[in-house]
């Protein structure tokens, strides 16, 4: 899916969230990245192969 230089990280790499946004839908709470990862506003992700990454927000400090 990535056609620009430098290429975006693959969907299964540790830095997959660094890929460029190709479709932003903040009103719906999600963005589609160039590597076909869907990133949700709660920090959860849906990978192109259907795997789910649970939300990983930092814990609030007390």
35-45: per-residue pLDDT in tens? 999 999 999 99
Extended beta strands in the chain, E state = 21-25, 30-33, 38-40, 45-46, 52-53
Position 56 confidence tier, pLDDT thresholds 50, 70, 90: confident
Question: How is residue 26 written in tokens?
Answer: 């903040």
Report pTM.
0.82
| Spatial contact of 1 and 26, defined as CB atoms under 8 Å apart | no
How many structural domains is the chain composed of?
A: 1
5, part of any domain: no
The closest of 55, 16, 12, 15 to 34, measured between CA atoms, is 16
Residue 30 has a pLDDT of 96
Q: Which domain holds residue 34?
A: 18-48
39, part of any domain: yes
């Amino acid at each position: 899916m990535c056609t620009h230089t430098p290429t975006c990280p693959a969907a299964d790499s540790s830095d997959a969230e660094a890929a460029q946004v190709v479709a932003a839908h903040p009103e719906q709470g999600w963005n589609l990245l160039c590597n076909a990862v869907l990133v949700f506003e709660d920090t959860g992700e849906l990978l192109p192969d259907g795997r789910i990454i649970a939300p990983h927000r930092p814990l609030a400090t007390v």
